[in-house]
Amino acid sequence: MERDALARLPDGLVRAWPVPVEEITLIGHSMGGLVVRSACHYGPTHRGRPVRSWFHRSWTARVRRVVLLGAPNTGAPLEMLATIASAALWALPLPPARLVGLGLGQRSAGIRDLRFGALLEGDWLEQDPDARRRPTPHRVRPLRRADYLLVAGHLAAQPDTVLARILGDALVTVPSATGRLAPTAEGDRSLFPGSTSRVLPSTSHLALAADPGVYGEIDRWWRG
């Protein structure tokens, strides 16, 4: 779907809602979190230009809460392993190994974009989806009027372990899911200043979408 059409879909929902929409909450899991952030960026624009229409500004202005569950906000380094494994298996002169490598290579371009946390059109247009290095994706500012909850999982029972730091939830690391950037001389940096983060132990990437503990964290944050 063309980027502007996707970003404008909430406009139709706001107009069709039977009562006036006062506030909107957005929840995105994994790639869905990147879609949410991209839509919030493109929502008030059309073909890269600001739109003066009240409808085009209304839905982003009414977003009050954004929940991102295991979103690869700074990329998913573990997805790179699939690329490396696919290339290595394909290089072996063994039909079974090449067959497995071919299967790994059939991942969609969208899944491959998880590796870099791509958000904007310029992050993937004319880019090789199998590239091991790409320019740093564009940063997208969070909505000014919205509160953000960032939920991350990790496979280990304790957070301060090698397994928790390296594997994260088996796809996305905790720093990526919570939007933490590499620290500088000025201190720690975040893609979401002032946001709330929750880290759940023994929780895989897929489990974040249906784990009762995740819903409990959302409920407590919402009420608070």
Domain-located, residue 193: yes
User: Both 31 and 67 in a single domain?
Assistant: yes
Per-residue pLDDT band at 126 (split at 50, 70, 90): low
Instruction: List 26's β-bridge partners, or say none.
Output: 66
Residue 48 predicted with pLDDT over 60: no
User: Both 70 and 120 in a single domain?
Assistant: no
120 contacts 138 by C-beta, under 8 angstroms: yes
* Those residues with Cβ within 8 angstroms of residue 41's Cβ, 6 or more apart along the chain or in another chain: 7, 119, 120, 140, 141
Q: Of 110 and 195, which is predicted with more confidence?
A: 195
Residue 38 predicted with pLDDT over 70: yes
Per-residue pLDDT band at 33 (split at 50, 70, 90): very high
User: Both 114 and 188 in a single domain?
Assistant: no
Q: Mind listing the pLDDT tens digit for each residue in 8-18?
A: 788 888 889 99
User: Both 71 and 86 in a single domain?
Assistant: no
Owning domain of residue 24: 3-75+136-223
Task: State residue 30's pLDDT score.
Answer: 92
Q: Which of 124, 152, 185 is the last residue of a domain?
A: 124
Domain-located, residue 131: no
Compute the average pLDDT of residues 167-180. 90
Domain-located, residue 129: no
Lowest mean pLDDT among 60-74, 96-110, 126-140, 170-184: 96-110
User: Both 148 and 69 in a single domain?
Assistant: yes
What CATH number is attached to the domain comprising 52? 3.40.50.1820
Q: Mind listing the pLDDT tens digit for each residue in 80-100?
A: 655 544 555 445 565 554 444
Domain-located, residue 32: yes
115 contacts 73 by C-beta, under 8 angstroms: no
Q: Of 104 and 158, which is predicted with more confidence?
A: 158
Alpha-carbon gap, residue 172 to 176, rounded angstroms: 6
User: Both 102 and 57 in a single domain?
Assistant: no
User: Both 111 and 25 in a single domain?
Assistant: no
Q: Which of 124, 152, 186 is the last residue of a domain?
A: 124
Vertex 187: Cα angle to 182 and 190 (nearest 5)? 55
Alpha-carbon gap, residue 174 to 203, rounded angstroms: 11
User: Both 142 and 206 in a single domain?
Assistant: yes
User: Both 70 and 151 in a single domain?
Assistant: yes
Task: Find which of 67-81, 90-104, 146-160 is predicted with most confidence, using mean pLDDT.
Answer: 146-160
* Those residues with Cβ within 8 angstroms of residue 197's Cβ, 6 or more apart along the chain or in another chain: 149, 150, 151, 152, 178
Structurally, how many domains does the chain consist of? 2
User: Both 155 and 213 in a single domain?
Assistant: yes
Compute the average pLDDT of residues 98-107. 47
User: Both 66 and 161 in a single domain?
Assistant: yes
User: Both 204 and 215 in a single domain?
Assistant: yes
Say what percent of the chain tops pLDDT 70: 64
| CA-closest candidate to residue 208, choices 141, 155, 131 | 155
Compute the average pLDDT of residues 38-59. 64
